[in-house]
Amino acid sequence: MKLATLDDGTRDGCLVLVSRDLGAILACDDVAGTLQEALEDWDRVSRLLAAMAERLDHGGAAGARPFDAGAMKAPLPRAWQWLDGSAFSTHGQLMQLAYDLPPVPSDIPLMYQGLSHRFAAGHEDMVFPSAADGIDFEAELAVIVDDVPQGVSPEEALGHIRLVMLVNDWSLRVLGAAEMRTGFGWVQAKPACSAAPVAVTPDELGDRWKDGRVHLPVMVHYQGGRFGEADAGCMDFGFHELIAHAARTRALCAGTIIGSGTISNPAYNVVGSSCIAERRAIEKIERGAPHTPFMQSGEAVRIEVRQRRGSLFGAIDQRVVVAGRD
């Protein structure tokens, strides 16, 4: 099943079903008005939505209309919680080697709690105060859970994953480096994330959903060409393990979003990277200094996952706008 949130002028939008080919939508406000409402009553609501989705996919749903990505918000325009992991060790190792950073633990997931009260739509311009702050994209996958009890095991956590989504975790790298030195974590360096318009249930992935991982490449296009196409299945910790880590000492409420961190592969010289910072780290290691600049006003990035049927989540296709004067 595929779900999206139609922008109806309210903060949380209106929940709609989306056909598998991303060709049509169907309002489902008689079942659940918003995605958050659906997540809080998932066992009941999902059965009703699945029956409606079956009719939509077979052309028998009265009231269906064309899908328009530009009319959609993020699947969850605001969430109770955004917990972002760093589940790809290659990314951390490259950054550590390039900038002589201290080693990080490899036996537990890395995770921070970021801004959750706003997720930008995948088509809207992103406004930043200054290009001097080091504007960077980060292609990630994420999962949305229902209510997760404290102390859940990784095996039990798998059963709490309700939806998978595609995220651009925007970062301001110059500010991030300064904030990391304080030891208090990120605030200014982590503005709102963006999300592709469609969230999907894990069964939509077929055999590409395995071991709490999505075994598909995530394509990043930047500066008119392919920037990266790293396999999201190369996570050192699966989403179920990230959830169990987050829930060790607290319960997670329905609508919590758990991110994978920047997608990165050991074969980065073949598949490329999912953020500029990693490309710069590789350049520093191999050429002595970084050469790829961070994003400037007017530049755009496109992030997408494709299957045989076409785009899985729809695309994140965004332009940077610098509001201040540099």
How far is 140 from 167, CA to CA, in rounded Å? 5
Could you give the count of Cα atoms lying within 13 Å of 250 in the half-sphere of its Cβ? 6
The residue type of 137 is F
User: What is the rounded CA–CA span in Å between residue 172 and residue 136?
Assistant: 6
CA distances from 301 to 12, 167, 168, 282 (A): 25, 12, 10, 20
Per-residue pLDDT of the chain (326 residues; tens, 9 = 90+): 999 999 999 999 999 999 999 999 999 999 999 999 999 999 999 999 999 999 999 988 899 999 999 999 999 999 999 999 999 999 999 998 988 888 877 888 999 999 999 999 999 999 999 999 999 999 999 999 999 999 999 999 999 999 999 999 999 999 998 888 888 888 999 999 999 999 999 999 999 999 999 999 999 999 989 999 999 999 999 999 999 999 999 999 999 999 999 999 999 999 999 999 999 999 999 999 999 999 999 999 999 999 988 999 999 999 999 987 55
Domains and CATH numbers, the chain: 2-71 (no CATH), 81-322 (3.90.850.10)
**Which residue in 196, 153, 188 sits closest to 171, CA to CA?**
188
| Three-state secondary-structure class, residue 303 | strand
Backbone angles phi, psi at 302, to 5 degrees: -125, 130
pTM, 2 dp: 0.96
